Amino acid sequence: MPSNPEPIWEARFHRGERDVMESVYRENFDAVRRAVARVLPEPADRDTIVQQVFADLCASRRMRESWKGTGLGAWLRTIARNQAIDFARRERRLTDLSAVENAAGPAPDPLQEFRQELLRFAERLDPARRTLLELRFIEGLTQVEAAGRIGMPRSTLEDWEREIRSRLAAHLLERPGPEGAV
């Protein structure tokens, strides 16, 4: 590429003509790679960014047209350096997030936690109400099915269920929540 490109060459560059793009790649590859190497220590990461810059340049007429005719090499190095910085920031955020997740351990299963809380609550109930709680809230039977299993009228079961729900709500409110919960 001429140091002061002629309008014809610049128009060919903006159109993305193959021979011009090949020339730009060959003449600027090493300088672009050095610019990226100042930001990214890993060779694979550097290669990824360098190739992405040139792939974007070949694929995007809009990108090519944003170059205005002077300092093509400097323009490409700036684009590459900025992409390398963005890549490094994303990697750092992912690493930080991963470290926080690993330090915290596996995320608890809310359904399993609630089931455990239900079982703790069930220990406070008399055997008949505990059976009702297990049939309705753990096994998921309907009121009619649970009443049939226990051998009581559905209306009585409904009253007991209302009482259990009220007591369960009170139980859950008295339990301390997770750290930092309001």
pTM of the model: 0.51
Dmax of the chain from CA atoms? 96
119-157: string of b/e by CB count within 10 Å (b at 16+)?
Answer: eebbeebeeebbebbbbbbeeebeeeebbeebeeeeeeb
Give the pair of three-digit tokens for residue 122: 């069930």
Domain boundaries, the chain: 7-104, 110-174
User: What is the rounded (10 degree) CA torsion for 159, 165, 167, 173?
Assistant: -160
Architecture field, domain 7-104: Orthogonal Bundle (1.10)
Average pLDDT of the chain is: 84
46 and 40 Cβ atoms separated by less than 8 Å: yes
CATH numeric code, 110-174: 1.10.10.10
What is the per-residue pLDDT across 125-151, written as a single tens digit (0 to 9) for each?
A: 888 888 888 888 778 888 888 888 889
Check if 7-104 and 110-174 are the same fold: no
What is the per-residue pLDDT across 36-89, written as a single tens digit (0 to 9) for each?
A: 999 988 888 889 999 999 999 999 999 999 998 789 999 999 999 999 998 888
